[in-house]
Amino acid sequence: MGGQRQSLARARGDGLDLVASAHGQSRRNVLAGRALYQTDLMHKAVGWMLREAGALDREALRDFLSAFHKRLPRTALRYAIEHMDPEERRKWMEK
């Protein structure tokens, strides 16, 4: 499955190869590092990247959000959870 994710990410050319090729703590660190930028445009980009990574592996996104959602800028969080059902989005926004 990992190879399929890597191929998909490279084919799409959207930078997900960094996320798809990383595993466990490494992937979390890659995503967390992206979340540290301080501009609104970067917040949107981080949220978009998280959302797309979550499309490939929803549990990995939930694990990441569990660890870092309080430190994520609200814009990044909103973009990251955009494709979740309304109930789950509310849960993440309330934390």
> In this predicted model, what pLDDT tens digit does every residue of 25-37 receive, in sequence order?
455 556 666 555 5
How many structural domains compose the chain? 1
Distance from first CA to last CA of the chain, Å, rounded?
A: 32
- Quote the domain boundaries for residue 55: 2-94
Residue 2 above 70 pLDDT? Answer: no
| pLDDT greater at residue 39 or residue 12 | 39
How far is Cα 31 from Cα 19, in angstroms, rounded to an integer?
Answer: 7
Alpha carbon of 95 to those of 22, 36, 54, 69: distances in Å?
27, 19, 19, 8
pLDDT of 82 reads: 96
* CB neighbourhood size of 93 (10 A): 12
Band of pLDDT at residue 8, cut at 50, 70 and 90: very low
